[in-house]
Chains A and B, each alone.
Chain A
């Protein structure tokens, strides 16, 4: 029997795969008309009950369970439903437990195994469904109902979520653990399933749902506050429009000043000398007399014989004259090429009796090397000459650099 089931299942899944594009189209658009190019494929899917017709004159829609699989797998929040009907799951579980016990009593092992497997499936899928609903609620909370546009819509969605949570909680209350214990009796498998695992699931979920409820209320409060602000401002404008002569009552003349309006004036403010105050005249004149013009240039101001007009014209091209230090480094490089042998920078410096400081020279050589274009740098190698630091290991003190032809 199970091989038939297996085969049928594989066939169905393959069908879904073959017509994946069509299925996704229907998922996104909601429904599909029959006929058209895909008529054959649509008919096949309808036969396998992947597509169904809710009412005689309506278009075909995607089956609820297939839609749910896609919604969850694709993390698509928009349409997710929460199944708050707990009672029917409970009834099914009780019924199956009854079948199982009877089969056991009649020593019908194959039947009892089948019922137990079914019961397991029911309990687990019930638990899964519950957890799924809780996840959906959390994702809506975390998203702050961002999948709808206006604040009013968010408030409505929030209120819907709250009613769903209440329904779920009420349903969970219906599970009398004592009743389950009675149904399970002494049978180990049943006790494990109904009393241990189911009970745990139920108390976890109940706890989490209470937390969810609290957060929903918090969010609702916040939404209302936000909506309140918009209304407050709009209301103010409406009111002042309707009553153009309105001014707020003088709330600060009461003996008891509301803290909101108790604002002191600033006593630290930008200050400046009052040059219009005649009382300060002697001090101000004194300050002015001490003002000196300080010129830090060494040149005397140059007086032209006649005015030179200033005109805006195109700036001429100009060249920046090369730094003599840089030129000397270039010459050092050239001399190494010409002689064909390596030479240390300081050696060259001493040989040529150049006027530069030893450290500046070294840095300029290093700069010059690093600044060479890639192709030219290939021809050289710059080796540091030095020794490791006697005290601080890992440091290498460079005394000199040597330029080699690569």
Chain B
């Protein structure tokens, strides 16, 4: 302990707190913490601490995002993990629909990934101008995950974004501006889908490819 400087102790303390709060640490949400965890010495210190309370550092996407997992899985732990898994499975459809909506309405090459910025007012205008997008937004915002009861685009979209920040998929660096940045948790989400796709042999990409080709014909 005596080798660690004061700032190092404060730093690792902050990292441990975030992990124990169930947060995902990525370069966008907390660059300093993320860099520290990329350093093997710091990572080991945090890991040692977490091990004492049956926790361990988990990561996804080749160390692009870190979160907290269990070291040993007893019955209680398995119950928690099951419930987390169910939560994320239930969230998949609303989240994917939202990601596709954002991609289509902004005419981007790719869906949001860590670090990508979304300007809410611009997006809102584009959605408001297209009936198909308005319908999509209404459908998405009424999912239980977001829980909107409004029929007004402004309310719907603001609620969706607020919930996404709460859930950790977006971050809002400046509360005075309507600019949201995608976090590493979105990349985690892609990995989850890919895992399901590969393990269950769903061939999702191939299906999408044939579908677009059918549209072109």
Residues of A within 8 A of B (CB): 150-151, 154, 226-240, 247-253, 257-269
Contact = CB atoms under 8 A, between A and B. Distances in A.
Contacts of B110: 151, 226-227, 229-230
Given A259-B69, A263-B69, A232 B205 contact: yes
Contacts of A251: 85, 195-196, 199
Interface of B: 17, 20-22, 53, 55-56, 58-60, 67-70, 73, 77-78, 80-82, 84-85, 89, 92-93, 96-97, 99-100, 103, 109-111, 113, 188, 190-197, 199-200, 202-209, 211-212
Contacts of A258: 195
Contacts of B60: 260
Contacts of B89: 247-248
Nearest to B17: A268
A194 to B, nearest CB: 47
B195 A249 contact: no
23 contacts: A229-B111, A230-B103, A232-B193, A232-B194, A233-B111, A233-B193, A235-B202, A235-B203, A240-B93, A250-B85, A252-B78, A253-B82, A257-B73, A259-B69, A261-B84, A261-B85, A262-B69, A263-B67, A264-B69, A264-B77, A265-B84, A266-B21, A268-B17
B27 to A, nearest CB: 18
Nearest to A265: B80
Nearest to A256: B73
Q: In this complex, which of B22, B190, B205 has the most chain A Cβ atoms within 10 angstroms of its Cβ?
A: B205
A228 B78 contact: no
B188 to A, nearest CB: 8
B73 A263 contact: no
Contact of B191 (A226, A230, A234, A260): A260
A257 B81 contact: yes
A264 B195 contact: no
Contacts of B20: 266-268
A6 to B, nearest CB: 52
A127 to B, nearest CB: 37
Contacts of A260: 58, 60, 188, 191-192, 195
A228 B205 contact: yes
A235 B203 CA distance: 8
A238 B80 contact: no
B109 A150 contact: yes
B96 to A, nearest CB: 5
B73 to A, nearest CB: 6
B92 A236 contact: yes
A263 B84 contact: yes
What 6 A-B pairs have minimum CB-CB distances, sorted nearest first?
A235-B204, A266-B22, A262-B69, A235-B208, A231-B208, A231-B205
Contacts of B70: 262, 264
Nearest to B110: A226
A237 B199 contact: no
Given A251-B85, A263-B81, 12 more contacts: A227-B109, A230-B103, A232-B190, A232-B193, A234-B208, A235-B202, A235-B208, A236-B193, A236-B197, A239-B207, A261-B81, A267-B20
Contacts of A263: 22, 58, 67-69, 81, 84
Nearest to B61: A260
B99 to A, nearest CB: 6
A251 B188 CA distance: 16
B22 A265 contact: yes
Contacts of B211: 234, 238
B58 A231 contact: no
A231 B204 CA distance: 7
Given A232-B193, A251-B85, A264-B77, A238 B207 contact: yes
Contacts of A154: 109
Nearest to B56: A262
B136 to A, nearest CB: 11
A2 B41 CA distance: 74
A256 to B, nearest CB: 10
B100 A269 contact: no
B186 to A, nearest CB: 10
Contacts of B17: 268
A69 B70 CA distance: 65
Given A260-B60, A263-B67, A231 B209 contact: yes
Contacts of A235: 197, 202-208
Given A228-B205, A248-B200, A259-B69, A233 B22 contact: no
B58 A262 contact: yes
Contacts of B206: 235
Contact of A252 (B81, B202, B207): B81
B208 A238 contact: yes
Nearest to A240: B93
In this complex, the member of A238, A258, A262 whose beta carbon has the largest number of chain B beta carbons within 10 angstroms is A262
Contacts of B193: 232-233, 236
Contacts of B199: 249, 251
